[in-house]
A and B are shown apart, each in its own frame.
Chain A
């Protein structure tokens, strides 16, 4: 199956949340999404001096896993991600490429000393998955306030945007979907 999105789960999220996320991705992109459990080698991405995990290293692992399997790949983790220049990232994607990674670590309320909220976490994760996948389809950050491709550097900003694309981003995606998927 060439038109598919592979979600590689390495979190302890409940099954119904994972099911919800798969269906949402399918709905937004109009492509079948497959959720599979994945054992990413997190320890290989760990940076002792920063006590964080390199998102770039994890992305490399996902790309290697994808190998010759067609489609897009996104890994879900629950560790604190970073890229060397930044203090943290919610996720990272191969721009106009095949793979992305997203973490629940800084999306969870507990990180900010607030009571856990499973529904809010699921919504935030849903938006970040779609956002990072959007980058793999060649979408840039969008200036539309509610577009899922709007850049969010603050967790509250994720709450403000919707889980869908604005008409311009959606139009770009729709027109280029086949070529972007390499079909």
Chain B
């Protein structure tokens, strides 16, 4: 149950204070009274008054001046002015000075009742709004982007630099490097964070559908358009539009998109009405856009419009020092969601994970850990819990030659057969002499 709202009545007329006080007490409010500004200020020291009814004309300090002093003490108090001398001038002045409303004596009881109810409701909404904003600010931390390498630290710096501005950002990086996560971090740390971030994967949709998804459509714009529908640009009003795989947009849609980004105006598909929106653009691509511009498949003007501030996310293989951090982060994450008491990765398994090339980047790592969490047994993930191809390729060089592949394969077979040459040669389907030659060639040595 919420605590009752406290109302302070400040009026030099005793009868007004008494009758209002009685009226509010019957409604269950906590009521206080003050006959002048000095007494009101004293009352403000005793407790928090959510609603303050202020007589504009009082001897000494008048209501308008008192309001300013009240604001210095409690800026969140809801102030309602009362006066026997209703005039538009005073009403406008009072409202400009931040009053919630203005009432003239005598007041219609129904009006007063609704006014107070609205003031209470507005206060509760303001409180809720504040709490939600605090929650959003909590979410806005870049905690989900895990890493300690110099490369990722540089990315953090760039996010912090660009987030507070309204600059268009292009995020580049291989598939699975977490481009959307970066876009969300920029949005979450921007002034637009209380508005939505609307993401659209431009590469996943055919041209006609992408156009309708971006700009919306009017009823009857095309077969199946039974209702008017808002597009992503309209939904992102006030917030951020995240265009993923922007390099895959058709030339026609590129032109429409360029105009919309430049003018912040567009029309829905099949419509005539010009819609004005306010959004920030963040886009991402794993394509070589410069090459696409040269080849004429990506508009040069759109490229320059989008590529204002570029953030390049290095692939996981170039920041191997982040791998243990990320792997442990996913273990913790899936441990919680699955409710499984696996809390760590064995040192052997971690070796395999670090040595792996991770062509699918963080997405592949996350999937590998999720799978290992499913098949693994507490308390830790072991090498055999990792996907088969992963352990098999654990030592594979990133761009391995045929010779390197052969070396690794022979080493694995020898290890599997406990360096029994005959059995290993049999498995490899080569004679023992050839195997000896290969061992010598690749410098393989039996472990002590």
Contacts A85-B19, A153-B113 given; does A95 touch B108 at CB 8 Å: no
Taking a contact as CB atoms under 8 Å apart, the answer to whether B110 and A85 are in contact is: no
Q: Which of B31-71 contact A (CB under 8 A)?
A: none
A105, CB-defined interface residue at 8 Å: no
B105, CB-defined interface residue at 8 Å: yes
Contacts A56-B19, A151-B113 given; does A82 touch B27 at CB 8 Å: no
Name the distance in Å between B22's Cβ and chain A's nearest Cβ: 6
Taking a contact as CB atoms under 8 Å apart, the answer to whether A85 and B113 are in contact is: no
B16, CB-defined interface residue at 8 Å: yes
The answer for the CA separation of A151 and B27 in the assembled complex, in Å, is 8
One of A93, A95, A153 near B109 (C-beta < 8 A): A153
B224, CB-defined interface residue at 8 Å: no
B363, CB-defined interface residue at 8 Å: no
Taking a contact as CB atoms under 8 Å apart, the answer to whether B26 and A86 are in contact is: no
Name the distance in Å between A28's Cβ and chain B's nearest Cβ: 19
Nearest to A50 among chain B residues (CB) is: B106
B73, CB-defined interface residue at 8 Å: no
List of B residues within 8 angstroms of A50 by Cβ:
106
B28, CB-defined interface residue at 8 Å: yes
A-B contact count (CB 8 A): 59
A170, CB-defined interface residue at 8 Å: no
List of B residues within 8 angstroms of A85 by Cβ:
15-16, 19-20, 23, 82, 105-107
B93, CB-defined interface residue at 8 Å: no
Number of interface residues of B (CB under 8 A): 21
Is the contact region of chain A dominated by helix, strand, or loop, or is it mixed? loop
Contacts A84-B13, A86-B19, A95-B22 given; does A140 touch B28 at CB 8 Å: yes
Interface size class of A (residues with CB under 8 A): 10 to 19
List of B residues within 8 angstroms of A84 by Cβ:
13, 15-16, 19, 105-106
Name the distance in Å between B34's Cβ and chain A's nearest Cβ: 15
A32, CB-defined interface residue at 8 Å: no
A112, CB-defined interface residue at 8 Å: no
Nearest to B14 among chain A residues (CB) is: A84
List of A residues within 8 angstroms of B113 by Cβ:
151, 153
Contacts A135-B26, A153-B113 given; does A86 touch B107 at CB 8 Å: yes
Taking a contact as CB atoms under 8 Å apart, the answer to whether B27 and A141 are in contact is: yes
B112, CB-defined interface residue at 8 Å: yes
Name the distance in Å between A46's Cβ and chain B's nearest Cβ: 16
Taking a contact as CB atoms under 8 Å apart, the answer to whether B27 and A140 are in contact is: yes
List of B residues within 8 angstroms of A88 by Cβ:
109
Taking a contact as CB atoms under 8 Å apart, the answer to whether A151 and B26 are in contact is: yes
B25, CB-defined interface residue at 8 Å: yes
Contacts A56-B19, A151-B113, A153-B113 given; does A87 touch B108 at CB 8 Å: yes
Interface-central residue, A83, A85, A88, A95, by most chain B CB under 10 Å: A85
Nearest to B105 among chain A residues (CB) is: A85
A66, CB-defined interface residue at 8 Å: no
The answer for the CA separation of A148 and B18 in the assembled complex, in Å, is 24
A89, CB-defined interface residue at 8 Å: yes
Taking a contact as CB atoms under 8 Å apart, the answer to whether B106 and A82 are in contact is: yes
List of A residues within 8 angstroms of B28 by Cβ:
140-141
Interface-central residue, A56, A141, A154, by most chain B CB under 10 Å: A141
One of A83, A141, A151, A153 near B19 (C-beta < 8 A): A83
The answer for the CA separation of A82 and B15 in the assembled complex, in Å, is 12
Q: Which of A58-95 contact B (CB under 8 A)?
A: 82-89, 92-93, 95
Which B residues are within 8 Å of any A CB, using their own CB? 13, 15-16, 18-20, 22-23, 25-28, 82, 105-110, 112-113
Q: Report, nearest first, the 4 A-B pairs whose CB atoms are least far apart.
A: A153-B110, A83-B19, A140-B28, A153-B109
Q: Can you give 23 contacting A-B residue pairs, CB < 8 Å? A: A50-B106, A56-B18, A82-B106, A83-B22, A83-B23, A84-B13, A84-B105, A85-B15, A85-B19, A85-B106, A86-B108, A86-B109, A87-B108, A87-B109, A93-B26, A95-B22, A95-B26, A135-B26, A140-B26, A140-B27, A140-B28, A153-B108, A154-B110
Which A residues are within 8 Å of any B CB, using their own CB? 50, 56, 82-89, 92-93, 95, 135, 140-141, 151, 153-154
